[in-house]
């Protein structure tokens, strides 16, 4: 291993060791495995593409610690901005491969290399004749849901067929049937963090305040002083809702109020759609689509979506359906750098694609590549709530997205929104929204 590779290995493992230290560190955990490096990267390893070679020399335990987001913390540290585009893309590939490897009973690999639910395909608006043909060929119906203008049928594939072989078989026996894999989506800014036990914030919400309604599609939300007076209703779409760090942080950026800490949509009623159930192997397209249908039923002023993944036919049609209903949606572009694939649902028409800026109004260098970039918002040098109590420094497009969603909910027209934008540096779309919505970590003692 080269000297440069050894230096990066030491830093990766140092970050992994901190992650293994548990909640005592009280920091949020990165979606990028090197996001919480304790020291700046040396010039010799900035931008190196040798991550794959480096990690192949680690033990399985070390490799997993360096590449898989921990369930103990979440967030992205500033050192990630020192990594080159090819290194970021390689880390993304390794992270997803390790997620699949660590969950063999739940996950498989789709044709594009992305994680998918093992043993199922999703049929979209199938005819009864097509379903009969599929069941005659050994497929069985797991669930069937009418999502209000969109029918989704999850089919269990015949035993011993891989996902790709099952897709070919389905096309043969049911010509013309629209089907896709059940892709799995990641939080666009960190791993899931179990909350205080299985508690959820505001299990019995106070009366709905006069104001706006926002839905966030994410992990569940834990109790926190900043959320004590908020109106929060939670619903699980991957089993019972379970509190997470990522969801708690995003919720606090929307409706949190606690001394100097202020969310961007204080007083709004918040509906939380938990598509993870506490598991990073959840977050499937079918769960997200059910969450979108539930969100639509709440007649929201905006939906905040801080998760990313590949294009999926079922998700694409669901998003288009909500867009036709003129429901405003904001989604993160991700944090895997400009060499990573374009991420969805941010790239779909009808969705406001969100990137992030730092305290100097500069686009974060690790922000994902976008097919279309609409707005930026603060996503670094800022505080968000930790489950239970306290605050942490956060970084990533996940944390910019709720700020943009808050402005979408509060602002009646595109023209009025455009009058709010501020200038910045780098790729920030039409400008920065909610530029004053950042809470300085020092003010609230964020760690």
Span 129-170, pLDDT tens digits: 999 999 999 999 999 999 888 999 999 999 989 888 999 999
Closest CA to 289 of 214, 353, 344: 344
Instruction: Record the tokens describing residue 335, joined without a space.
Output: 């944090």
Instruction: Record the tokens describing residue 150, joined without a space.
Output: 């969109």
**In the beta sheet, which residues pair with residue 351?**
329
Looking from the CA of 252 toward its CB, the CA atoms found within 13 Å total: 31
Interval 167-178: pLDDT, tens: 999 999 999 999
Out of 94-98, 99-103, 105-109, 329-333, least confident range:
94-98
Based on the residue annotation, tell me whether 218 is a catalytic residue of this protein. Answer: yes
Closest CA to 29 of 350, 393, 374: 393
Helix, coil or strand: residue 233: strand
Distance of CA 307 to the CA centre of its chain: 2
Task: State the catalytic residue, choosing from 246, 252, 286, 296.
Answer: 246
Compare 84 and 217 and report the one with higher pLDDT.
217
Task: State the catalytic residue, choosing from 72, 82, 180, 218.
Answer: 218
Residue 4 pLDDT exceeds 70: no
Sign (positive or negative) of CA dihedral 74, 76, 77, 80:
positive
Give the whole-angstrom CA distance, residue 368 versus residue 146.
Answer: 33
Looking from the CA of 217 toward its CB, the CA atoms found within 13 Å total: 33
Interval 323-373: pLDDT, tens: 999 999 999 999 888 888 899 999 999 999 999 999 999 999 888 888 889
Kindly report whether the peptide bond that precedes residue 434 is cis, defined as omega within 30 degrees of 0.
no
Report percent pLDDT > 70 for the chain. 75
**In the beta sheet, which residues pair with residue 156?**
120, 140
Q: Burial code of 105-143, b = ≥16 C-beta within 10 A, e = fewer?
A: ebbbbbeeebbbbbbbbbbbebeeebbebbeeebbeebe
- Looking at residue 58, what is its pLDDT? 58
Pairing relationship of beta strands 231-236 and 375-378 according to DSSP bridges? unpaired
pTM here is 0.84
Based on the residue annotation, tell me whether 246 is a catalytic residue of this protein. Answer: yes
Based on the residue annotation, tell me whether 374 is a catalytic residue of this protein. Answer: no
User: Residue 326 region, left (φ>0) first, then alpha (ψ -120 to 50), else beta?
Assistant: left
Interval 365-411: pLDDT, tens: 888 888 889 999 999 999 999 999 999 999 899 999 999 999 999 98
Task: State the catalytic residue, choosing from 252, 284, 311, 398.
Answer: 398
User: For 348, phi and psi rounded to 5 degrees?
Assistant: -75, 145
Helices (H), 198-255: 245-255
Mean pLDDT of the chain: 81
Closest CA to 113 of 132, 127, 94: 94
């Amino acid at each position: 291993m080269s000297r440069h590779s050894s230096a990066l290995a030491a830093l990766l493992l140092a970050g992994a060791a901190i992650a293994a230290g548990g909640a005592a560190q009280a920091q949020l955990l990165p979606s990028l495995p090197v996001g919480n490096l304790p020291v700046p990267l040396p010039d010799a390893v900035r931008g190196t593409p040798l991550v794959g070679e480096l990690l192949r020399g680690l033990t399985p335990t070390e490799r997993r610690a360096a590449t898989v987001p921990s369930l103990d913390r979440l967030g992205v540290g500033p050192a990630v901005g020192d990594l080159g585009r090819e290194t970021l893309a390689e880390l993304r590939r390794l992270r997803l491969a390790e997620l699949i490897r660590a969950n063999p009973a739940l996950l498989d690999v789709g044709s594009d290399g992305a994680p998918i639910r093992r043993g199922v395909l999703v049929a979209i608006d199938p005819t009864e004749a097509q379903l009969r043909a599929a069941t005659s060929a050994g497929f069985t119906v797991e669930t069937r849901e009418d999502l209000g203008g969109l029918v989704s049928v999850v089919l269990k594939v015949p035993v011993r067929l891989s996902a790709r072989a099952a897709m070919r078989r389905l096309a043969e026996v049911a010509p013309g049937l629209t089907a896709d894999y059940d892709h799995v989506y990641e939080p666009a800014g960190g791993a899931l963090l179990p909350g205080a036990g299985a508690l959820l914030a505001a299990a019995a919400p106070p009366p709905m305040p006069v104001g706006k309604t926002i839905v966030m599609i994410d992990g569940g939300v834990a109790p926190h002083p900043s959320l004590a007076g908020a109106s929060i209703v939670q619903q699980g779409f991957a089993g019972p809702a379970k509190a997470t760090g990522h969801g708690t942080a995003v919720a606090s950026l929307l409706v949190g109020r606690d001394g100097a800490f202020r969310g961007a949509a204080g007083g709004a009623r918040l509906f939380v759609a938990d598509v993870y159930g506490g598991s990073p192997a959840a977050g499937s397209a079918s769960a997200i689509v059910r969450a979108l249908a539930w969100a639509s039923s709440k007649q929201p002023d905006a939906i905040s979506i801080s998760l990313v993944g590949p294009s999926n036919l079922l998700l694409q049609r669901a998003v288009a359906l909500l867009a036709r209903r003129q429901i405003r949606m904001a989604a993160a572009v991700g944090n895997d750098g400009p060499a990573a694939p374009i991420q969805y649902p941010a790239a779909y028409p009808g969705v406001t694609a969100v990137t992030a800026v730092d305290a100097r109004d500069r686009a974060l260098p690790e922000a994902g590549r976008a097919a279309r970039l609409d707005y930026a918002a603060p996503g670094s040098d800022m505080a968000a709530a930790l489950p239970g109590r306290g605050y942490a420094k956060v970084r990533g497009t996940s944390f910019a997205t709720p700020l943009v969603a808050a402005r979408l909910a509060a602002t009646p027209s595109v023209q009025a929104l455009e009058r709010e934008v501020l200038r910045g540096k780098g790729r920030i779309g039409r400008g920065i929204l909610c530029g004053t919505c950042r809470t300085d970590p020092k003010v609230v003692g964020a760690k």
